[in-house]
Amino acid sequence: MRNETKRNGIIIGALLVTIALMTIGYAALATQLTINGTASTGDASWDISFLSITKNTALSTTDAVEVEEPTASGTAATFNVKLPAPGSKMVYDLVVQNTGTIDATFNEISGVDELNKAAPIQITYKVDRLDSENGSVVQGTGDLLNTTGKNYFRVTIEWPAESTEVPTETTSKTGTIYLNYEQKVS
């Protein structure tokens, strides 16, 4: 009997020590960590933005109308056009420049799918990245070097000529596209 009581005492003691250690561990993990100090990037700067947005009159139809001139903020550009009939289109050429000191890589274009799902769905947006040498469409990512780097894009807002459906509401469409860049990994 005495051995059994001794054994139970050891088990209860071990359980109490375990509970105490778990309580201390939880308290240590639940404590808020505060770090005081400063960090600096030195003279490094991130500045990627539109250098220009130009209407391409050679590729646009004469009946397409700018409701408002395009606006840009950082790497987001907003367009508002009115296309009166199937076959109408407005085309813009965009130049993005890196005037910062940090090299960047073009990652993706976003916002286009959402625009094309919005009413009127007959008017579609398409954005292509262009080769700086020959103007051909470039796929995938690409570098945008600091202070001298430029990327070229073409935005086509179109009411396809083969469209047989004519919306009864407005034939204008406002939309914003986003050109996403990230820091270049060496």
Q: For CA atoms 128, 129, 135, 136, give the dihedral sign.
A: negative
Measured CA distances, 89 to 59, 64, 113 (Å)? 8, 6, 18
pLDDT digits (tens, 9 = 90+) for 124-161: 999 998 888 888 888 876 766 666 778 899 999 999 98
pLDDT digits (tens, 9 = 90+) for 105-122: 888 899 999 999 998 888
pTM for this model (two decimals): 0.73
Lowest mean pLDDT among 40-44, 79-83, 175-179: 40-44
Percent of the chain with pLDDT over 70: 87
Average pLDDT taken over every residue of the chain: 85
